[in-house]
Structure formats: C-alpha cells, structure tokens
Chain A
Amino acid sequence: MTERPTGEPLVRLSGVNKWYGELHVLQDIDLSIDRGEVVVVIGPSGSGKSTLCRTINRLEGIESGEITIDGQRLPEEGKELARLRADVGMVFQSFNLFAHKTILENVTLGPIKVRKQSKADAEKRARELLDRVGVGHQADKVPAQLSGGQQQRVAIARALAMDPKVMLFDEPTSALDPEMINEVLDVMTSLARDGMTMVVVTHEMGFARRAANRVVFMDAGRIVESAVPETFFTAPSSDRAKDFLSKILNH
C-alpha cells in the first residue's frame, strides 16, 4: 500500500529562513519528505516546529530559501497558491471548523467550491469520510454541538475530502481533553498505515513511536536531529535531544 520513495521528494524545504522581527524562528531548514512517509516533528515550545509546519502551505511566508511540493515551487499569492493549498491538507490545533456550517457542509465546501464537484457527489464522499472517522451520525449538527475529539476528526475528514497529496497536522491533540486524544490518534494512525504522506507536529511520543517513519527534533529554530523513531528514542545523538527526552519520558 505504501508507495515507496521515488526520486523526487514530495515536499522539500531547502535553506529556509524565517524571522519574526528580531527573532530568527527558522534557521537554514533543510528537510525532504518522500511519498508515503510519516514525519513527526517534536521539540520544546518555541522551537519553531509549528511555524515549520505552517510554512509548507504558506500560511506563514518565509524570508529566504525554497519550498517545493511535488516538484513545484510554492507560489507567492493568489490563485496559484490557492490551487496548491488544495493539495495540502491541514489539521489545526484548535480545529477551526466553519462555525456557521453543518458538519456535512464543512466537509463538502472545498470539494464543491475548489474541485467543482457536484453537491451530490461531494455529499456522498463526505458521508463516507465522516463514517470513516466515526462521526457519520453527526453530519447535520453544527461544530459547537460536537466534542473536541469529534470536531478534530471532522477536521481530518474535511482535509481528506480534497484528496490531498500530503497532510499537515499542527499539534492536533494539544487542545483535547485526555480521554479524547486517542480517538484522534487512532484515525491518524490508520491514515499513516494507508500510506498517506504526513507531517505531524505533536507531543504524543507514543504516536511518534508507533506511526512515524522518521522523527525530526527541533530546537531554537533549527533541526537538531533527524532519525528513525527507534534510534531517536533509544539512542539520540545530540545532547539537546537527550535532555529533552529525559524531561518528557521520565514521569
């Protein structure tokens, strides 16, 4: 099922730099993500991991360097950028479901307006996706009537409805009550198993061990270490990663 890596990586960041005023939040980032690869980005708060994730669909602009998706350079603005974003699914920490639309409309909006699908086709597919993430029976409610975990699963369905080439997850479980985290991680794990290319910013080390092909550790705007989960968690090479892991794994 998983497509094996081919020559050109699906997502490539090279020499990416970003500043917020004086703060150098991304420093010389080089990162390539192959088709079907699941990359988990971890690191302390303020390390730049969310910013990194958000530059991939240009919700955050960059000052220098280059980002390509499927060999195509990210356009600056306008329709070209919108077209490219349609191929990149994004799941936010705070869900960001459209508050004035029903669950079903949340999932069909993109397919109808961007992919120009008929309403009937879009709804059929949306219901399949909502069933897949386990919230099919909530289709006619509005977001505020759902629990956080349910809203986040709808957000995943909304992203999947665009048939994205890659999915970005920006701390998808950080705003959830503990008992709802697993229902979201289970959906993500099954996506990973089905071969979806994923970039996941998270603090869930269990998910990283279970589903990641590679763990990228960031600190102070730099990628400090990049390794398969087994190596990273048992034998991290940098002192900074050792220190970070000792703080989060020893309790």
Chain B
Amino acid sequence: MQFFTDNFPLLRDAFLTTLGLSLLAGLLALVLGTVLAAMRVSPIPPLRGLATFYVETFRNTPLTVVFFFIVFGLPQIDFVVSFFVGAVLSVGLYTAAFVAEALRSGINSVGPGQAEAARAIGLTFGQSLREVVLPQAFRTVVPPLGNVWIAMVKNTSIAAGFATTELAATLPRLANANAGDILLILLAVVVGYMLITVPSAYGIHRIERRVAILR
C-alpha cells in the first residue's frame, strides 16, 4: 500500500491527463469526422476528393508518425503548440478519419428513399443530412463508433513518447524508482485505462438500446 499512497498524486494527475486528452481528442474527432463524412457524400466533387484524401492519408499513417509530424514537424513552419495540445491534435486528427469512415457506412445504411423524400419536400442537401440522414446514420454507428472511441483512449498512450505525462508515461518513471513493484505499477496503469473504457462500454450499450429505432 505504501507504493500507492506515495505515488497517488502522480497517478491521479496522469489519469486526469489521459482522461482530458481522450475527451478533447474524441470531441475533435467526432466533429471533424462528421464534417469529413458529410463531405464524402456531398454532391460537390472537390469536397469529396478532399475528404477522401484526408481519410486515406490519416488512416494509412501510423499514429506515432502523426505525432512526430505535429510535435516536431509543424514547428519548422512556425506552428508551435504545447505538448498536450499537440497530443490532442495528433490523436484527434488521426481518429477523425476512422470516425468519418464509420459514419459513412452508417449513411450508406440509410435507404436512398429517405434522402429523396427529404429533398422532395424542399430540404437543401445540408438540411437533408442534418434532419433526416445523419440522425438515422448515428444510430447504426453507435457500436462501431464505440470501438473507435475505446481504441482512441488506448492510442493516447503514444503521447507518452512525446513529453506528455499521461498514464503510460508513468510506467518507466515508476518502474525506475520502484523496481520491486513492477506488477503493482502495471496494475495501477491498466486500472487507470479501465476506469475510462469499462464505463464507456457500458454507456455505449445503453445508448445503443436507447436509440434503437423501429424500421
């Protein structure tokens, strides 16, 4: 117990950093991913092309490389952000590509008749998407979006390599100081991630049941 009481402040701060990083990156990914998905189904070819380019670029680039680009590459063109903001941007921009693809599969699962009926009553493309297609698409993508979220929470651990003291970053630090407690250290860090992911899985299941619609 001595180990936990001694290191509680560090573990707590690291947990809060992981949580904050996850929430901010998740929000960025959700907003940007929705915009990208809308662009990919839009009737304007340049928008479709741009979104496709974005998705393919970020989906096919390792997250570590994205981090490297944001944290060390962007300062070369005088775009300097803090390590924490760099981590939010890296994880958020990367995950947006996966959110966009999950949403696009949801949009494609909504029958074409729904969008036709929306256009037939005079809704614009944006209104059709907002009022009719996306609300139905979101319902079918709750499970895949849940997967993206949980994967993203764990992906925030890459930030440990880029000077952000989140949960995974405490591992080497604590291990060096407490060589006899390696298993306890691992347990503490894993529990930290599970404090986020397990309630998330439960929440996702609840949302899934609540938004289920009759067809």
Contacts and interface: CB of A to CB of B under 8 A. Distances in A.
The reply to whether chain A is a binding partner of chain B is yes
Interface of A: 57, 59, 77-79, 82-90, 92, 94, 96-100, 109-110, 113-114, 142-145, 155, 158-159, 162
Contacts of A144: 213-215
A113 B214 contact: no
B213 A110 contact: no
B180 interface: no
B119 A85 contact: yes
Contacts of B125: 82
Nearest to B127: A113
Given A99-B215, A100-B213, A162 B121 contact: yes
A42 to B, nearest CB: 22
A228 B139 CA distance: 49
B139 A100 contact: yes
30 contacts: A57-B120, A59-B116, A77-B43, A82-B119, A82-B122, A82-B124, A82-B125, A82-B127, A84-B122, A85-B121, A85-B122, A89-B120, A90-B117, A90-B121, A92-B116, A92-B117, A96-B114, A96-B116, A98-B132, A99-B114, A99-B213, A100-B135, A100-B139, A109-B121, A109-B131, A110-B121, A110-B122, A110-B123, A114-B123, A144-B215
Contacts, number: 80
A158 B43 contact: no
B105 to A, nearest CB: 18
A143 B214 CA distance: 8
Contacts of A142: 213-214
Determine the interface band of chain B, counting residues with CB < 8 A from chain A. 20 to 34
Q: Chain B: interface secondary structure?
A: helix
B194 to A, nearest CB: 34
A52 to B, nearest CB: 16
A83 B123 CA distance: 8
Contacts of B136: 99-100
Contacts of B121: 85-86, 90, 109-110, 114, 158-159, 162
A46 B213 CA distance: 35
The 6 A-B residue pairs whose C-beta atoms are closest, nearest first, are A86-B122, A144-B214, A110-B121, A96-B117, A96-B113, A90-B120
Interface in B108-153: 111, 113-114, 116-125, 127, 131-132, 135-136, 139
A113 B127 CA distance: 8
Nearest to A57: B120
Interface string B179-215: 0000000000000000000000000000000000111
